[in-house]
Amino acid sequence: MMKIRIEITLCLLLFLVLAPFCICSGERLPVGMTLVRKATAHGAVCLDGSLPAYHLHRGFGAGSNNWILQFEGGGWCNDISSCLERAKTRRGSTRYMSKLEVFSGILSNNASLNPDFYNWNRVKLRYCDGASFSGDSKFDNGTSLLYFRGQRIWEAIIHDLLPKGLSRARKALLSGCSAGGLATFLHCHNFTKMLPSNASVKCLSDAGFFLDERDISLNYSMRSFYHDLVALQGIEQNLNPNCTRSTSNPKLCFFPQYALNYISTPYFILNSAYDVFQFHHSLVPPSPDLHGHWNRCKLDPPACSATRSVYCKV
């Protein structure tokens, strides 16, 4: 009985801490990787030049014409050195990725665990560009070569899926977590336009609503980070034109809070009130807290003072 209680407690903790779709189950559904073979011809390659990829598990029955696509997350690289390092890992190259991906949660085929989407066509888009599937440029100094082709990767995967049934979709959900959640804000609008006009399309961002707010030193740390990212990877040209035309600082349209104003597709936004990443990197980044006054609060949010708790609530 004690063991069962411990397992239940651990499951609840994992559910609350890791993700809203985390499922405490021993069932595993390994799904093979599909490389987009025609992508090279369109310059749609990962940071290191390797082919982009996705994992597809076919739907069946009443869900055979419904699709859920999930962007993989995994942060960003906003300068040459960090992108060169990333290109040597699974975050920048399909060469280092596992060729089997376990589908669970919202991608599970178990009706009791995933009653809404278990029989849909479920796709996981692998993340290897470092800019939430949005860049379109290249770095080549004669010694090092990096491809910033996230936008082309996104388009290549969609064009690979269309003849596999996506072009006949009746219902579709574009989803993603963290950096993948941000990608949904960047691509929700054009995803809708790629599908049949009578398709029911919705988008879902899980922990991807990154804020443009001042940190504890009153600087815009995240804005500075994203500005470097947008400039490096040639992202501005791919941002929502209605958004970029509405502001004197078009790079701000990389932030969901600005992009969302120009998305008409129905949207589900799921985000923790106390987002750990944003707490540690956006609101209280290391640079303005050199003496570690916020360390205890960052490690144990309930230990924060009332003033700090209010400040850190996203």
The one-letter code for the residue type at 118 is Y
Res 303: pLDDT:
74
**185-190 long-range CB contacts below 8 Å, 24 or more apart?**
185/256, 185/259, 185/260, 185/263, 186/132, 186/133, 186/134, 186/238, 186/239, 186/240, 186/254, 186/259, 187/133, 187/134, 187/154, 188/263, 188/265, 188/267, 189/240, 189/262, 189/263, 189/264, 189/265
Mean pLDDT across the chain? 88
What is the pairing mode between strands 145-148 and 137-140? antiparallel
Q: What number of other Cβ atoms are within 10 A of residue 248's Cβ?
A: 5
Residues in the chain with pLDDT < 50? Answer: 1-26, 310-311, 313-314
pLDDT tens digits along 27-60: 689 999 999 999 999 999 999 999 999 999 999 9
pLDDT tens digits along 145-197: 999 999 999 999 999 999 999 999 999 999 999 999 999 999 999 999 999 99
Q: What number of other Cβ atoms are within 10 A of residue 139's Cβ?
A: 15
Res 1: pLDDT:
40
Which residue ranges form the domains of the chain, and what is each CATH number? 27-303 (3.40.50)
Q: What is the pTM assigned to this prediction? A: 0.86
What is the pairing mode between strands 121-125 and 100-102? unpaired
Res 295: pLDDT:
79
Does an H or E element contain 299, and which?
Answer: helix 295-299
Closest CA to 216 of 112, 132, 142, 290: 290
Res 275: pLDDT:
79
DSSP string across 58-78: ---GGGTTEEEEEE-------
Res 5: pLDDT:
40
